[in-house]
């Protein structure tokens, strides 16, 4: 018969057992706990301890090793010591619930926030929400711009620094102040990171497009595409954005058929719309504009309808799509639908240049 071993525990070991179990559970909890979380634009989450936050990169430590992430790959950072409701607020911001997010931000008591990085994040989220509301027609563009400028001046090394400059450029462009918009956009080119340099050229190109300086815009988009070809870490979305800018320029400079081909090529390569909703919207707006140049009214209408029905989250592209829908529906004799599109444009985006045309 096989002998079975019997574990005999002394009374003293029984006494100390709960303490030992508690120590083990505490150690397991601490090992599993992630101090800080970095959410990347591709959806990945990196857990570790933030070592330093800078405008170009964020350094973090994980399992005793240090690593860096370029800030243009970062969507948000959750710091371990921040108020628990702050991450819920970020989720509201991501979903476009800016007014609700602002209400919740105002409820955070100043005494509950001790870390400077967390305070900075709260200020950024407030400025970001006000800017998005203004771009969407629900706020003052100039006042939102002043808030962003104040944040930029006070936080020159924040990981929000370049996004803040880009957003300030969007506000200036929406006001028709294209020189000011270009200055903000060109700040991104000061970064040593190719990702920001590419975005700078694309943003400046879009401002030149809006200003109807098409040769200058085309030059910027060509510059962006050249930087993409030389960079090992430039994202596919940046290349597609530059291609769309080039397609728009082709449409405006007597080559709309080439613009259609390039826009359709981009649409065939578009990533998940949940990740790149704005890129999808720009693609169909660009396609629609090129088709209008070719007098292909119904295909152009379908392109703009894509934006109105599926990719309406971005105020600038949605406003442009609505303006075109109103014009095309009127051209097709569908006056009721034309009126509906025009009314929606003025009601939802009263501050948009498209609502004033």
Q: Does residue 325 register a pLDDT over 70?
A: yes
Domain total for the chain? 1
Q: Dihedrals φ, ψ of 238, to 5°? A: -65, -40
pLDDT value of residue 233: 59
* The two structure tokens encoding residue 221: 């988009």
Task: Tell me whether residue 127 is in a domain.
Answer: no
For residue 184, give the 3-state DSSP assignment: helix
Q: CATH code at 72?
A: 2.30.30.100
3-state helix, strand, coil split of the chain in percent (to 5) is 65, 10, 25
Specify the range with the lowest mean pLDDT, choosing from 246-260, 317-331, 341-355: 341-355
Task: Write the pLDDT tens digit of every residue in 226-277.
Answer: 998 877 656 788 899 999 999 999 999 999 999 999 999 999 999 877 768 8
Task: Tell me whether residue 225 is in a domain.
Answer: no
Dist. CA 38–CA 50, nearest whole Å: 9
CA angle 322, 323, 324 (to 5 degrees): 90
* The two structure tokens encoding residue 310: 């599926």
Task: Tell me whether residue 310 is in a domain.
Answer: no
**Pair type for strands 57-62 and 45-53:** antiparallel
Task: Tell me whether residue 318 is in a domain.
Answer: no
Residues 6+ apart with CB under 8 A from 132: 96, 98, 315
Task: Tell me whether residue 164 is in a domain.
Answer: no
Q: Does residue 9 register a pLDDT over 50?
A: no
Task: Tell me whether residue 67 is in a domain.
Answer: yes
Beta-bridge partners for 352: none
* Contact of 88 with 122, CB cutoff 8 Å: no
* The two structure tokens encoding residue 282: 């720009």
Task: Tell me whether residue 168 is in a domain.
Answer: no
Pairwise pLDDT comparison (104 vs 12), residue with the higher score: 104
Task: Write the pLDDT tens digit of every residue in 14-24.
Answer: 344 444 444 34
pLDDT band at 26 (very low <50, low <70, confident <90, very high): very low
Q: Does residue 29 register a pLDDT over 60?
A: no
Q: Which domain holds residue 76?
A: 33-80
């Amino acid at each position: 018969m096989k002998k079975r071993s019997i574990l005999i525990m002394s009374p003293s070991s029984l006494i100390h057992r709960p303490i030992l179990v508690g120590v083990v559970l505490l150690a397991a909890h601490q090992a599993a706990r992630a101090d800080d979380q970095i959410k990347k634009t591709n959806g990945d989450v990196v857990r570790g301890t933030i070592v330093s936050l800078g405008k170009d990169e964020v350094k973090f430590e994980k399992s005793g090793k240090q690593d860096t992430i370029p800030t243009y790959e970062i969507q948000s950072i959750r710091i371990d010591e921040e108020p628990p409701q702050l991450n819920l607020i970020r989720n509201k911001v991501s979903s476009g619930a800016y007014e609700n997010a602002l209400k919740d931000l105002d409820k955070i008591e100043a005494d509950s926030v001790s870390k400077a990085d967390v305070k900075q994040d709260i200020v950024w989220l407030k400025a970001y929400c006000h800017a998005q509301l203004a771009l969407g027609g629900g706020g003052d563009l100039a006042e939102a711009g002043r808030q962003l400028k104040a944040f930029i001046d006070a936080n020159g090394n924040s990981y929000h620094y370049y996004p803040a400059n880009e957003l300030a450029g969007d506000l200036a462009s929406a006001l028709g102040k294209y020189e000011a918009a270009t200055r903000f956009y060109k700040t991104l080119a000061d970064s040593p990171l190719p990702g920001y340099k590419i975005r700078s050229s694309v943003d400046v190109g879009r401002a030149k497009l809006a200003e109807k300086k098409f040769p200058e815009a085309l030059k910027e988009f060509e510059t962006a595409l050249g930087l993409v070809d030389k960079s090992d870490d430039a994202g596919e979305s940046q290349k597609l954005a530059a291609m769309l800018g080039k397609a728009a320029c082709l449409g405006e400079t007597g080559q709309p058929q080439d613009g259609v081909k390039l826009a359709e090529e981009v649409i065939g390569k578009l990533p998940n719309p949940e990740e790149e909703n704005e890129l999808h919207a720009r693609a169909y707006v660009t396609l629609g504009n090129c088709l209008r140049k070719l007098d292909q009214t119904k295909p152009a209408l379908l392109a703009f309808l894509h934006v109105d029905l599926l990719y309406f989250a971005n105020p600038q592209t949605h406003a442009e799509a609505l303006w075109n829908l109103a014009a095309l529906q009127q051209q097709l004799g569908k006056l009721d639908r034309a009126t509906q599109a025009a009314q929606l444009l003025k009601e939802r985006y009263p501050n948009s240049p498209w609502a004033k045309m």
